[in-house]
Structure 1
Amino acid sequence: MDENGTKIENITRPYQEGEDLTLTCDVYDGQPEPVVTWWRGSELLQQALSRTAGGHPRATVFRLRLTRADFQTRLTCRATNSNITQPVSTTIVVNMHLKPVSVEIKGPRGPLSAELPAQVICQVNGSRPEALIRWFLGPYQLNDTETHVISPNTTLGMLNFVPGDRDHGARLRCLASNSAASLTQASVSPLEDSWILDVH
């Protein structure tokens, strides 16, 4: 079960990086009282008879501050009560939303011609699900944009705009955040790359 008492079927709900993970494993019956262990792959995390709830041994593993390295980690709860019986176990997979790890405005950053259409591409890597990409020219958000997912961890943002003489020296920014995490973690700062425009 997760921290809300919800039974987990094979895979957890999506957790955010830095979020606490608490899992509880209930073991029923068994004489003598079974030893309950938690494993991450072949690594032993915890072993205990642990506290008892309603006569059933219960083992709990706390995973604080999940990192992206925990994505798709397999956690196994295993119970055994002797050296001659086969242990019983259940395994779940940790699902996570991952923040972007890099953002880059691609291509040459040469001079732009005033009043002529221009296209700029921004590549974001590491986000899961796809990145939310926003563009700003100075303080103003630009909306003539497209987003394309080109691989499970890579998102491209395309901006079409017409620069003017007044935009010379202005800062064009590409901001990237996780599209799912942005809905639940307003305080998470996006990654960004920027370009000082040279407009003639």
Structure 2
Amino acid sequence: MLTPQVKCYELLTLTVLTIVKTTKMESLGNHPIIVIGLIEEKAELPCYITSIQKDDIPTLVFWYKDNITKPIYTLDARRRSLVRARHSSVFMTSRVRFVTDTKPALLMFSSLNSDDQGSYRCRADFIHARTRYTDSILKVIEPPKKPVIRDQNGKILRSLIGPYNEGDSLLVICEVEGGVPSPNVSWWRESVLLDDTFKIIKAGTVTNELLIPSLQRHDLMAAYSCRVSIYNLTSSFSSTVTVDMNFRPLAVRIEKEQAILKAGKTTKLECQAIGSRPAAVVTWWKDGRSLRNVKSSNSVDGNVTTSILTFKPSILDNNKTLICKAQNPLIRNVVLKDEINLNIH
């Protein structure tokens, strides 16, 4: 019965998962080891040269690639020890060497190129035991360029974007050039996947569009990241934008404790606007005219604006309406107001 075993080879910053099925035979069967490496970086292909018989040693090791009948690399230990064995490489340069003092032994590439991709077979002959084979598939990744984020007009967006008004739609387009094989492009908000439906718009260019139909308050300073991955391995290639926003006021109210006023006596009325970003502009109105004797202050976080009106009513103001208006100057046509009827004694 086959026993699944999971083995992991660490290649630079890439973790490569390989599944090997162990049997009683010397061959590893029809399940090649998948090794993934970055172009111009290092990679290692395993070769099992340990005999299942005690005190047996390998005498010859051959490496074959694809359908090439002649070995691309040979180790000859028939007349000498394994440490002093003769190495020869027919088709490869000095950037490839075979190391036997590791378990398993490794065919090591110092710098991968695209021609290295393919199927490999390591054949190990022993003094007594049957020949043992190790099959590998080497996939060479050519990383893409860093993702570029654009708006609907094609303008490149970086870092902090906006500010957008509450309720606005947001369209961001991630564009990735290059990469072999063609990369996957996805949008994330922190650790949450939002969209992984990308498309190829031209040879070598992949895009993914993210549409937020209506920005809400919880989208303030939200970080949206475009990530690139190949073979389900997430690389370090990503770009992120953070959304800045403007908020309309949520509420405005006049403190009505002093609603009963005395004619000819100066008094102060207070009005508060809450929820605006940036701080709201608060104005006072009577008979359609703006009142000027006003002082305003904002809370530390800018969320609350307090306006104090110094007012000296006359008997003619009795039963007139006093209005306090609050507006974010960056958001047009959104004005909140509160009003009181003046009761002058």
TM-score under structure 2 length normalisation = 0.54
Shift of 1:49: 3.0
Partner of 1:146 in structure 2?
Answer: 295
Match of 1:189 among 320, 326, 334: 334
Match of 2:253 among 66, 90, 104: 104
Is residue 14 of structure 1 aligned with residue 163 of structure 2?
Answer: yes
Is residue 155 of structure 1 aligned with residue 305 of structure 2?
Answer: yes
Alpha-carbon contact 2:248-2:334 (below 8 Å) kept: no
Match of 2:193 among 44, 50, 59: 44
Match of 2:266 among 117, 125, 129: 117
Partner of 2:277 in structure 1?
Answer: 128
Larger Rg: 2
Distance 2:243 2:296 in 1: 28
Instruction: Flag as ranges the 4+ runs of structure 1 deviating above 3 A.
Output: none
Alpha-carbon contact 2:248-2:277 (below 8 Å) kept: yes
Q: How well do the aligned residues superpose, as a CA RMSD in angstroms?
A: 1.7
For residues 75-117 of structure 1, what are the alpha-carbon distances to aligned partners after superposition, in whole Å with 9 as ceiling and x for unaligned? 1111101134525211111111111111111251341111221
Question: Identity over aligned residues, as a percent?
Answer: 31
Is residue 137 of structure 1 aligned with residue 286 of structure 2?
Answer: yes
Gaps of 5+ in 1: none
Which has the larger share of strand?
2
Q: Which amino acid aligns with 1:154?
A: V
Alpha-carbon contact 2:298-2:305 (below 8 Å) kept: yes
**Helix, strand or coil: the match of 2:221?**
coil
Distance 1:35 1:116 in 2: 73
Distance 1:141 1:24 in 2: 46
Structure 2 CA distance for partners of 1:165 and 1:40, relative to 1, 3 Å: same
Is residue 63 of structure 1 aligned with residue 63 of structure 2?
Answer: no
Gaps of 5+ in 2: 1-149
**Helix, strand or coil: the match of 1:166?**
helix
Distance 1:114 1:149 in 2: 31
Larger RCO of the pair (alpha carbons < 8 Å, separation 6+) = 1
